[in-house]
Structure 1
Amino acid sequence: MAVNVMTASDVTKKIFNQESLFILDVRNESEFQDWKIEGQNFEHVNVPYFELLDGVEEILDQIPSDKETLVVCAKEGSSVMVAEMLSEAGLDVSYFKGGMKAWSEHLEPVKVSDLKNGGELYQFVRIGKGCLSYMVISDGEAAIIDPTRMTDVFTQFAKEKGVTIQHVFDTHLHADHISGGTMLAEETGATYWMPPKDATEVTFNYQPLEDGGQVTIGDTAIDIHALYSPGHTIGSTSFIVDEKYLMTGDILFIDSIGRPDLAGKAEDWVADLRESLYSRYKALSEDLVVLPAHFMIMDELNEDGTVGATLGTLFSKNHGLNIEDEAAFRKMVTENLPPQPNSYQQIRETNMGKITPEDEEQREMEIGPNRCAVR
């Protein structure tokens, strides 16, 4: 039987549609335990490739005949060979094109909503890493918020929409992935904006995001709320788009809150984080739709594939927003932290412009899940 091919876009659509998929992951156990392709109805078995060099007979009883099966490895080659052996044994399987490297880099654009005066808002879901970028479109112009380093996705989408990218924003200095902000601004001639408190060591020019400022994209207003508090950073800044959407960066997620330790300042920044979440956000309209820069688990995806919920819903359901005792909050935020993101110090230095790794090194630096939230 022929070996089929499944792309990152194909798997993403299965996640959005909550379809079932059986995944045979042939990477080493440690890599599998650290990071894998997850979906609400996905099942996994991990058998390292080196255990299958003499054949797949011993695992045939682990592969269901009534479910679609995908073979996954790091870069593609091993999964192709294992899929071919399973196919020769009579199973109908697919291999994953590009492997986990492709999964790390795939961006799926999803329409969030129409805006007033004919504009549109899109969310770019980096499904393998849980990163979220945004494009605001209005009257032939576009703004990009928290772009990843795969800038061609944004420029191509803008071209398809017939719009010109005029502004690029980073809500903060990212520590878990490499920003495409400066590159995108250079490629398009757009203005690049970032929080000045996060830019004290950067080597490039930028426009400062300051409290009370407003940037207009076509007929759409982006109101800047400089909530100087740690998502990762002291400069973390929120935007309100079209008076309806609250871009929270890494301060607030759907199911958690931002971790304050990636610059070694957890104890110093906890009070700022609490003030932003419990006072500054509390003063905003509960009808604002929170659109964060990351998600942690697939359950945070809505039925249409977007990630977002009203601020009122989060104040009622997000545990991180419902800890009345300040000491308990401090304990949770400083002690209940996942491992540091891979290469996060190098990523921060790259995003400051201090170092310029080669493309392949940048890929390796980003491999793995995002770890931006308090557990």
Structure 2
Amino acid sequence: MSTERLRELLERGTPVTVLDVRPAVERAEWSIPGSVHADAYDALRRGDSTALADFHPTNGDRVVTVCAAGKTSKLAAERLRARGLDAVSLEGGMRAWSLAWNTAEVPCPGSTARIVQLRRTGKGCLSYLIGSNGDAAVVDASLEPRIYHRVAEEHGWRIRTVLETHVHADHLSRARALAGDTGARLCLPTTDRVSFEYAPLKDGDIVRVRSAGLRALHTPGHTPESVCYLLDEHALFTGDTLFLAAVGRPDLEASAEQARHRARALHRSLQRLVALPPDTLVLPAHTSEPVVFDGRPISATLGEVQERTSLLRETEEAFVSQILTRLPPTPPNHHRIVALNEAGSLPDDPTELEAGANRCAVA
């Protein structure tokens, strides 16, 4: 079964049991929402006849088996079919699933714009389509351009502007490709990191989406160029600077000394953000959990984020010390991903580079 077919089934709520047969340590990194787990990888690989003998579907009769790349899951499906079950394997496994997506409408009282959150359900990347009076802007495009076209057309919008909050390290940016496909203006925070043409944005600049406005707030720390975009003073697109219960990491593509300097800058940036009204809606570029197909936006008010995130209440010295000792492992392939994003290039097959969970947050 293809990723797109499984995505459609989950989006419609069609009964299907997704059986993950990877080792537990791999599943802990990332998984398909609602899937069940059987740690049968080793048993299947060695041809153990008892592998999955006790498994029974939990959500309807159809079973879709999944592994890392779609090979061992074929063995699992064959074993289940031999027992008379309706079982198929997910083509390409979790690597292919990294491109699966779903959407949620984001209510934003006080703004003339409508917001659609587009979520890469396996990888946790969050991007946004903002529409107003027929025009639209995209923030932090991480999906194929055709998907933004499709969702914009469903709402009667035309994409006029494509914005990035920073040069990403955990996924390949589709911003330049989307701007090229649509003829939209490509906007990035002012930086000398990239080698392609773009419209530079500095602190305080406003990007119009018809009657709505996105104000750029320079928030260095996660990267030197990072910005957040404040929509009509009500919704804040925070990129990787601030998450719903964590903050951005300051160490990627940085020496130890640079990471400490950036951690100090990040503290100042976060203090600027928490000074905004507490009912400001926070819309980050990532989430750490698989995104379920429930149509509910991943968001919180700034006040809620402050309550959840103890690092926001620390002094600068304590913040720097704590964030540098809590750093998670670096994102897989981040050096190669950053190089491609700085060049504005995309490989023919991004699934190998992008496999795995994102690791840009520090809680």
Q: TM-score, normalised by structure 1?
A: 0.85
Show the 5 A alignment for 1:136-215: 136-196=130-190, 199-215=191-207
Structure 1 position 289, deviation (Å)? 0.4
The structural deviation recorded for 1:149 is 4.7
1:268: Cα distance to partner? 1.2
Change (3 A) 1:189 1:281: same
- The reply to whether residue 373 of structure 1 matches residue 361 of structure 2 is yes
Alignment of 1:199-348 (within 5 A): 199-227=191-219, 229-231=220-222, 233-264=223-254, 265-278=258-271, 280-298=272-290, 304-323=295-314, 325-348=315-338
Mapped contact 2:169–2:338 kept (Cα < 8 A): yes
Asked if 1:59 corresponds to 2:52, the answer is yes
The 3 A distance-change label for structure 1 pair 242 and 302 is farther
Shift of 1:282: 2.6
1:45 counterpart = 2:45:
no
For the residue of structure 2 that corresponds to 1:59, the secondary structure is: coil
For the 8 Å contact 1:107–1:153, the answer to whether it is kept is no
Q: Distance in 1 between matches of 2:12 and 2:360?
A: 25
Evaluate the alpha carbon distance shift between residue 58 and residue 226 of structure 1 in structure 2; reply closer, same or farther with a 3 A threshold.
Answer: closer
> Which is further off, 78-87 or 48-57?
48-57
Aligned partner of 2:277: which letter?
S
Distance 1:12 1:328 in 2: 44
1:82 positional shift: 2.1
What CA deviation, in whole Å up to 9, does each residue of 1:297-347 have, x standing for no partner?
25x989743111000111122222233x43332122112111111111111
Letter in 2 for 1:188: T
One-letter code aligned to 1:363: T
Matched position secondary structure for 2:150: helix
Q: In 2 relative to 1, CA 24–295 (structure 1 residues): closer, same or farther, beyond 3 Å? A: closer
- Determine whether 1:359 maps to 2:348: yes
Distance 1:275 1:159, change over 3 A: same
Q: 3-state SS of the aligned residue for 1:208?
A: strand
1:33 offset after TM fit, Å? 5.0
Q: Summarize the Cα distance change of 1:191–1:226 in structure 2 as closer, same or farther, 3 Å threshold.
A: same
Residue 363 (structure 1) shift: 2.1
Structure 1 Cα separation of the partners of residues 10 and 318 of structure 2:
40
Return the alpha-carbon distance in structure 1 between the equivalents of residues 293 and 151 of structure 2. Answer: 22
Q: Verify the 8 A CA contact 1:221 1:242 in the aligned structure 2.
A: yes
The 5-angstrom pairing of residues 1-20 of structure 1 reads 7-11=6-10
Q: Which residue of 2 aligns with 1:131?
A: 125
Mapped to 1, the partners of 2:186 and 2:58 lie a distance apart of 51
Q: Which whole-Å CA distance do the structure 1 matches of 2:293 and 2:152 have between them?
A: 24
CA distance in 1, matches of 2:120, 2:232: 24
Amino acid at match of 1:269: R
**Number of aligned positions between the proteins:** 355
Preserved CA contact (<8 Å) 1:20 1:42: no
Whether 1:71 aligns to 2:65 is yes
CA shift at 1:288, angstroms? 0.4
Stretches of structure 2 lacking an aligned partner (at least 5 in a row): none
3-state SS of paired residue (1:122) = strand
Counterparts of 1:46 and 1:203 in 2: how far apart (Å)? 45
* Equivalent-residue separation in structure 2 for 1:94 and 1:44 (angstroms): 16
**Aligned equivalents of 1:172, 1:13: Cα separation in 2:** 34
Amino acid paired to 2:40: V
What letter corresponds to residue 364 of structure 1 in structure 2?
A: E
Amino acid aligned to 1:370: N
**Residues 20 and 322 of structure 1: is their aligned pair in 2 closer, same or farther, counting only changes over 3 Å?**
farther
Q: CA offset at residue 20 of structure 1? A: 10
Other-structure match for 1:24: 20
Q: 1:365 to 1:24 in 2, by over 3 A?
A: closer
Contact 1:224/1:237 (8 A) holds in 2 = yes
2 CA distance for matches of 1:66 and 1:200?
A: 52
SS in structure 2 opposite 1:105? coil
Distance 1:42 1:146 in 2: 28
Instruction: After TM superposition, give the deviation of residue 171 of structure 1 in Å.
Output: 0.3
3-state SS of paired residue (1:57): coil
Closer, same or farther: CA 250–58 of 1 in aligned 2, 3 Å:
closer
Aligned-residue identity in percent: 31
Higher mean C-alpha displacement, 174-183 vs 106-115? 106-115
* Aligned residues of 2:160 and 2:183 also touching (Cα < 8 A): yes
**Aligned partner letter, 2:312:** L
- Higher relative contact order by CA 8 Å / sep ≥ 6: 1 or 2? 2
Distance in 1, matches of 2:93 and 2:51, equals 24
Letter in 1 for 2:6: T
Q: Return the alpha-carbon distance in structure 1 between the equivalents of residues 90 and 114 of structure 2.
A: 33
Structure 1 runs, 4 residues or longer, greater than 6 Å off = 300-303
